[in-house]
A and B are shown apart, each in its own frame.
Chain A
């Protein structure tokens, strides 16, 4: 079977775009924390590239995208260690003649989906800024990816493989994608509700930072926040338009809605700030962009450009209001993963049920406001609820297990000193000239060998 070189090029390029989102997220988050924990924040994100990158090849891809093992819940082990993937093609759907015009190498699909598996646990890290033991977080990433992301991504992203006749199912996929029929084009449920719900669980497991909420920390580098949000916006075109897995009209529509929803998200968030606080802020603009991106993720291929504006503005307004919830309910979700990703993910996933239109070519059913009745909204709500509940419960259990065994939280003393120096023995910035002069450094032997005088 021949591969489609245009589609393959687009999926490979999209993979690299999505990869860039994780360092982008690291700077988005890193700018929001205080000076003494910026490196830890960057590292909690960056380590996801390393950990999940390895897990994915070992067994992650297989659990997510190998043929269904049972009940649409998880993939089997037939692609363990990426067995049977080299030289194989990922077919997509057959045309009326029984050919597969959009076949791409399986490994292109493997790499594209890896980037999603990396950024989803990274998103969670914002909830536990300033106070987590680094390797406890690393262990959490291993367990949560294995027990939550891989199965949930199988539910949502693993579609039944169809034979050349267009109807015979040759390999089954996940229950949400195939049996329930919820529309989630790029991961409103599998990525954002999933990460946001786990973030709430971890914020509860680790507890509040010392002094919170009375003592609040200002973002230490607002330009980083906007830079990170901009990199996310750029990479998100790969995330959403790349999820078509084809260089086609559906990808172009997803690109369009991603652009316009993000723009509208910025305006929505700034509108709330202008009315409520009297000033539009840079952090607000960056946050509104991310809220719009999150919400358009499930919807990007199922709505048109105008629908994208609605999704973005609703997400921008609601997320701007939702970030205040943590003060009302008293959970220290430090960087608002719940307010932006859980709420934004729910907004986008549910709005598909209102605004989906079959005219985009990505789906066959219409939403409530497009004359399709409540049917699609019901499917969307079940998918959102299932992912939210599963992720919350398992993340809470994993978090608790880590907390009672190796400990998840640094000591009060270390938290006061800052996790950059206590967890990494580094500091992000050279502040003040006195510590910068050479004589302040003393070489220390790293082994038993003496240092030459």
Chain B
């Protein structure tokens, strides 16, 4: 099994979800996160005083997939999340040692 993790622009979440569903992905986990990469934060001005906001809001998408599906999922993710502008995010894949479905106790690919 592999864990595909993607950091994407929040407004791209719907496209990403749709693309993964089309591929037959059964579930995913989404969290709101903040950070910075090449796209730095921004400044806000209140009553003439500048405030630097260092972190940019992003969405983290996590998908568990079978080994042979990982590349297709990554491709679908980057196609759906790409705008071509700085700040589009990152996708990475990590190996998963153990996977268990909590309700049934099924293990490995059966738990996907």
Contact = CB atoms under 8 A, between A and B. Distances in A.
Contacts, number: 28
B51 A277 contact: no
A272 B46 CA distance: 13
B49 A216 contact: yes
Nearest to A213: B49
B48 A276 contact: yes
A323 B48 contact: yes
A262 to B, nearest CB: 18
A320 B46 CA distance: 11
A218 B49 CA distance: 10
B51 A279 contact: no
Contact of B45 (A277, A327, A336, A339): A277
A281 B49 contact: no
B44 interface: yes
Interface in B28-73: 44-49, 51
A279 B45 CA distance: 9
Contacts of A14: none
What interface size band does chain B fall in? under 10
A323 B51 CA distance: 15
A327 B49 contact: yes
Nearest to B52: A216
A363 to B, nearest CB: 34
Contacts of A323: 47-48
A281 B51 CA distance: 13
A287 B46 CA distance: 10
Nearest to B53: A218
Interface of A: 216, 218-219, 272-273, 276-277, 279, 281, 283-284, 287, 320, 323-324, 327, 336, 339
28 contacts: A216-B49, A216-B51, A218-B44, A218-B46, A218-B51, A219-B46, A272-B48, A273-B45, A273-B48, A276-B48, A277-B45, A277-B48, A279-B45, A281-B45, A281-B46, A283-B46, A283-B47, A284-B47, A287-B47, A320-B47, A320-B48, A323-B47, A323-B48, A324-B48, A324-B49, A327-B49, A336-B47, A339-B47
The 6 closest A-B pairs by CB, nearest first: A277-B45, A323-B47, A218-B51, A283-B46, A324-B48, A219-B46
